[in-house]
Amino acid sequence: MLTRLTAAAQEGGRLRTLIELEVLQAVAAEAAGQRAVAEQALQRAAALAAPDRWLQVFAAEAEALRRPLDALRDKHPSSPFLNGLLAAVRSD
């Protein structure tokens, strides 16, 4: 289901929806114990959100995303967006 919605969001140029769907994919994968899939989805979401600094898109799922966010930041420690995102998630 998420795959079809993601494809439709891409085709329709709905960036925020696409980011939200990638975040949901990351949450679902993390809950299923598929850490690599969660990190990949989160990395795609972060790459899309970074130019406009859309931190709020991640806020609703902050608790579920802590582990994959930490792992992603470990791979990209100099990313201002990921560091800001983690700071925002931790302050909630």
Q: Mind giving me the DSSP string for 53-81?
A: T-THHHHTTHHHHHHHHHHHHHHSTT-HH
* pLDDT mean over 21-36: 94
pLDDT at 63: 83
Mean pLDDT value across the chain:
88
| pLDDT tens-digit series, residues 35-70 | 999 999 999 999 999 999 888 888 888 888 888 888
The model's pTM is 0.85
pLDDT at 92: 60
Where residue 14 falls among pLDDT bands split at 50, 70, 90?
Answer: confident
Specify whether the CB–CB gap between 5 and 21 falls below 8 A.
Answer: yes
